[in-house]
Structure 1
């Protein structure tokens, strides 16, 4: 098996990442467009972490740190590459980044219906905090609606 290469995304990767998420990620986010991902990488060039195998994108995670909290989003592994340690390698890279930046606890956005993700996150040592509920207010005209029940902001 080809060695796994972990690195930060560059602006040149963004179209590939967006296409990858359509295949590998569960649900859609209001930020899943060129402008959203460009802003992320411009603001925090190390936040979008990629895993490549054989020169092909195999997985992603967004490891955002706002100086207060460590947030994980878009942990996605291509269906053909699952159960090969890619998610674990991405999470290790994200957690190392958080520790380096002074982060103390990481949280993850995980869709309630995504049972496969629940197993992966649990295996990595993460667990739900049932006392919390996410409250959301869209700030643009791109609003999640009943017509897009997979929209997760």
Structure 2
């Protein structure tokens, strides 16, 4: 049975192992357990996990800056896909945004990740073609 909860510091290494197998990672700088720990320390509600028998099988980062709602790192273990876990993670994130007073959510989705496009489209999200994401790696 899948349970949903906020990540805690003890989850950092398991989250990293999970992302290595379940998340698309080719287009971003490497993540680290330290970064996960900083995220959880800064906002204990920012990382929602789906857990099955103490194994991380889903994740979503709920980014709220006081102005906009941002979703990152939606991932579901290949063994647990097509069971509604992604949909539930998005719904929980959106409920959190509503409680914060958010009015619009955006999701970071790689252009070539067609499997993710289906998930986000089903959840009611669509690309916004008039915007481009500009990035700069920090030292």
Q: TM-score range by the shorter chain?
A: over 0.9
Structure 1 length as normaliser, TM-score? 0.87
Q: How does 1:32-43 map to 2 (within 5 A)?
A: 32-43=31-42
Query: What's the CA shift for 1:34?
Result: 1.8
Aligned to 1:98: 97
User: Post-superposition shift, 1:37?
Assistant: 1.1
Q: Higher relative contact order at CA 8 Å, sep ≥6: structure 1 or structure 2? A: 1
Alpha carbons 1:31, 1:37 under 8 Å: kept: no
Structural mapping, 1:1-12, within 5 Å: 2=1, 4-12=2-10
Partner of 1:26 in structure 2?
Answer: 24
Once the two structures are TM-superposed, the CA of residue 139 in structure 1 deviates from its matched residue by 1.4
Alignment partner, residue 61 of structure 1: 60
Q: Deviations over 1:18-70 (max 9, x none)?
A: 01000000125326112211111111110000011233211000001000010
Q: Which piece of structure 1 moves more, 51-60 or 69-78?
A: 51-60
Tell me the C-alpha RMSD between the 2 structures: 1.0
- Is the 1:50–1:59 contact (alpha carbons within 8 Å) kept by the matching residues of 2? yes
Gaps of 5+ in 2: none
Provide TM-score, normalisation by structure 2.
0.95
Q: How far, CA to CA, are the matches of 1:95 and 1:30 in structure 2?
A: 26
Aligned length: 138
Report the Cα distance in structure 2 between the residues aligned to 1:30 and 1:42, rounded to whole angstroms.
Answer: 21
**Alignment check: 8 A CA contact 1:58 1:81 kept:** yes
What are the residue-to-residue correspondences of 1:1-153 with 2, within 5 Å?
2=1, 4-28=2-26, 29-30=28-29, 32-140=31-139
Structure 1 residue runs of 5 or longer lacking an equivalent are 141-153
